[in-house]
Structure 1
């Protein structure tokens, strides 16, 4: 049956930024598809809540509370997976993000920090995980953003970093083929904590929905489902691609209202 191609029975995954939002939904989805998961973020209490959901799906979770803005901390998750579960098949580089900031308030240090948090961390874990991924043939998914391919004021650091992550995905896919597949997801507006202040305002939320071709804000499960596709045999002939899961957006659906200089 075609649904069998989406199974991940007895595989092992690492998901960063897994305490809430996209990471939490992804960890649970992978567990429901049959994988054990190493989940990591800064807040341990959130991770234990996600671990309970993984257990309810009949799989095991290993919790690693860490500051994932440090590339060394993300790299260590590969060893955590192999030492705990004996193998590693899937890496989801979800940790990332950067606050909006006008260009003239974006220091070089702020730009470099955005690059480190969104790109360097992903590279550190991917490189550390590669020996284990090569053993059975594995898959990596990087969580990028629509802001890596469209233009919007206030997002110069975030958009530049996510664009770099998308290109990193294409380059890594060539380097690691044919044993390891590497893809990314270009995420649109999704109801996570990062958008709480925005979508909590009905007027702004309605404007965002109307500016989105599918007329809604995405749910974390929309992204989690795409991850399952990309890392499972169902996506076995896909590598080096950036899958756009954004409701059809071709431009930002949130205007920060920054004036002309």
Structure 2
């Protein structure tokens, strides 16, 4: 029987000296994740379309005593991805953690009679292709450093079945399966997993949430509240940290134990 190796609790979550990239990290779940990783000691690079917001988030991060870097980046542009990785390496000298959080699409508006294949293609470019490419760019640096963890933000839509969601939901389902396969390509040095948020109080949800919709969602949610960005960040920290050192290729749904959809 393998001898149990005792580690201090803090050591299991300690990211001191490590560098994390968080795409879409200027606001919402991305920002909450960046702050949580910074609290664990990681230096943070935020890659985001909104450079001013990213710079503001970095100020909060640096107040925690770690180094920060804001980079303007469009994940749909390969040159931006390459330049961003080069800039992070130049600034920090290593890349250990990649949070592929940026994404998007037309979920809830994808009536197949009214959209084109270009709309569906964009879902996959945002949610699948960009993260795959960024992982490809970062993994060699992770392997060189001896520590690597990649986490994708997926979605409950990847397992739910709803109308007007085929492209977005299909792309997120692809993320889940892609992660499971890439675990075999990137291991043993680099782990890769995904976090699927349930209904989380972000600016995007606020645009459609009504008291009636929230009540309906909570009727199907054992933990009787909607998620907060920090709830999702906790799962991101788990996957990024040494405590999950034997976990790869997995998708965990952080959803209060239930299912929340807009048409309940």
Shorter-normalised TM range: over 0.9
Which residue does the alignment assign to 1:210? 219
CA contact (8 A) 1:34 1:59 kept: yes
Which residue does the alignment assign to 1:187? 197
Matched, 1:255 2:257: no
2:181 and 2:78 map into 1 onto residues whose CA distance is 19
CA contact (8 A) 1:13 1:92 kept: yes
Q: 1:93 to 1:207 in 2, by over 3 A?
A: same
Which residue does the alignment assign to 1:19? 26
1:216 and 1:148 map into 2 onto residues whose CA distance is 21
CA contact (8 A) 1:170 1:241 kept: yes
- State the Cα deviation string for residues 111-143 of structure 1 (Å, max 9, x = none): 001000000110111000011010122000011
How many pairs were matched up?
Answer: 254
| Secondary structure, aligned partner of 1:46 | helix
How do 1:152-191 and structure 2 match up within 5 A? Answer: 152-191=162-201
CA contact (8 A) 2:218 2:260 kept: no
Q: CA RMSD in A?
A: 1.4
CA contact (8 A) 1:71 1:120 kept: no
1:167 and 1:156 map into 2 onto residues whose CA distance is 16
What is the Cα deviation at residue 45 of structure 1?
1.4
Matched, 1:234 2:252: no
Q: For structure 2, which runs of at least 5 residues remain unmatched after alignment?
A: 1-7
Partner of residue 222 from structure 1, selected from 215, 220, 231: 231
Matched, 1:66 2:73: yes
| Secondary structure, aligned partner of 1:198 | coil
| Secondary structure, aligned partner of 2:141 | helix
What is the Cα deviation at residue 252 of structure 1?
4.2
What is the Cα deviation at residue 84 of structure 1?
0.7
| Secondary structure, aligned partner of 1:62 | strand
Larger CA deviation: 59-68 vs 70-79? 70-79
How do 1:131-146 and structure 2 match up within 5 A? Answer: 131-135=140-144, 136-146=146-156
Structure 2-normalised TM-score?
A: 0.92
How do 1:53-132 and structure 2 match up within 5 A? Answer: 53-99=60-106, 100-101=108-109, 102-132=111-141
Partner of residue 47 from structure 1, selected from 33, 49, 54: 54
- State the Cα deviation string for residues 139-193 of structure 1 (Å, max 9, x = none): 0001100101111112111100000111110111110110100001111111111
1:182 and 1:80 map into 2 onto residues whose CA distance is 23
Structure 1-normalised TM-score?
A: 0.93
1:67 and 1:56 map into 2 onto residues whose CA distance is 26
2:29 and 2:79 map into 1 onto residues whose CA distance is 22
What is the Cα deviation at residue 197 of structure 1?
1.5
2:217 and 2:83 map into 1 onto residues whose CA distance is 39
| Secondary structure, aligned partner of 1:153 | coil
